[in-house]
Amino acid sequence: MNLTVYGVPLSPYVRKLRLCLAEKELDYELVIVLPFDQPAWFKDLNPLGRIPAMTDGDLTLADSSVICQYLEDKYNNLKPLLGQTPEQHAKVRWLEKYADYELAPLTTFMLFQQRIINPSMGQHCDEKIVRTALTEKLPSHFDYLEQSLGNAEFFVGGSLSLADLAFASQMVNMEHAGEQLDAKRWPNLLALYNRIKTRPSMQNLLEGEQEILASIKPTK
């Protein structure tokens, strides 16, 4: 086994990378590295100290999007996840970045942080921050993504892509935080998320994530 991923399962970026690997049926080893209190050697893999990082033999890479692009280029004989044409490729990358840069600050660094991480560390959950994300910030993003998806089964080209995996990775953290997409306002997005959740690649990850969540749940 040459591929090693460094990070934690509850990170949406690590989750996206692991989904990419699973969909391509690539074996890898997961080495747990936290977003904080990292071992000194991790800076040799990513001087920015962010997860995930990955090694493939002597090659070291950081940033989930860069790593997924590498996997697509190297293992292009396996299931394609970046579209079939330049136009599809560009749209996939755009929607992936949209999830990474627009959804993540809200679903992960506001909802998940307040509802899950803060209580697990004995810190206060600020529900005002949660409500701001849910009522003022996320709806416009979901409106845009609902329109982009339309009635299609997947975001781009009628087949699963990194755009779908990036979106679903953020929705998992939102669901871990106790929230769900409004079925009346965003029915197509919810249907897409539910389709991805039933895939073996996601089911395998969610089983382990639920165990982690149960272990960090604060005791009363």
Confidence of residue 218 (pLDDT cuts 50, 70, 90): low
Tell me the DSSP string of 38-49. --TTHHHH-TT-
The C-alpha torsion from 168 through 171 and 176 to 179, rounded to 10°, is -150
Q: Provide, rounded to the nearest whole percent, the portion of the chain with pLDDT above 70.
A: 98
Per-chain mean pLDDT for the chain? 96
Whole-structure pTM over 0.85, yes or no?
yes
pLDDT in tens, 26-46: 999 999 999 988 999 999 999
Chain Cα centroid distance, residue 169: 3
Instruction: Judge whether 88 and 51 are in contact, CB under 8 Å.
Output: no
Report pLDDT for 1.
Answer: 58
For the segment 203-219, the average pLDDT, to the nearest whole number, is 89
pLDDT in tens, 57-110: 999 999 999 999 999 999 988 999 999 999 999 999 999 999 999 999 999 999
Instruction: Judge whether 212 and 34 are in contact, CB under 8 Å.
Output: no
pLDDT in tens, 175-189: 999 999 999 999 999
